[in-house]
Amino acid sequence: MTPLRMLPLLSALLLPGLALAQSPAESSFGFEPKNIWINPGFYSAHFDSGKGLENANPGLGFEYPLNDTYRITAGTFHNSNRRQSHYVGLYILPFEFYGVKFGAVVGGFDGYPDYRNGNWFPAIIPTAAIEGKNWGLNIAYVPTVKNRLYGAISFQLKYRFGTHE
């Protein structure tokens, strides 16, 4: 099995360890289901609109905050090439400006036929997050990888249940 094919398994094993390895000052890790963000996929505004790509990318994804900076994420969606994709990753959002958090999501994706024949590949995606008590929006810059992946600004609406202060 190639290393990238093992990415989902390795992520499932390593991300919980990362959560537990935080410094005590930052960690108050007690799993609370009400903190899970749920999203219905993405809307992607592609830079090259003449390629006939799908802008609406429906799916199902989850995001769970480990603390104010780190969040784990995983999901699936119908990608712009009309194929099913999966993702797993870690949001790292260390900067905040007027309530908007900035950073990147580091992780892996699959399902893009022109990139690694649809197999898993690593990615670092610059991201901004705007979050209210129950509603949030992730905005990501997806770079163009010539003849493999079409760039876009991606919007991901998210919701979490329960009461939040």
Each residue's pLDDT, cut to its tens digit, for the chain (165 residues) gives 454 555 555 555 455 555 544 444 444 557 888 999 999 999 999 998 888 899 999 999 999 999 999 999 999 999 999 999 999 999 999 999 999 999 999 999 999 888 888 899 999 999 999 999 999 999 999 998 887 888 999 999 999 988 877
Domains, in order of start, for the chain: 3-16+38-159 (2.40.160)
pTM of the predicted model, to two decimals? 0.81
3-state secondary structure string, the chain? CCHHHHHHHHHHHHHHHHHHCCCCCCCCCCCCHHHCEEEEEEEEEECCHHHCCCCEEEEEEEEEECCCCEEEEEEEEECCCCCEEEEEEEEEEEEEECCEEEEEEEEEECCCCCCHHHCCEEEEEEEEEEECCCEEEEEEEECCECCCECCEEEEEEEECCCCCC
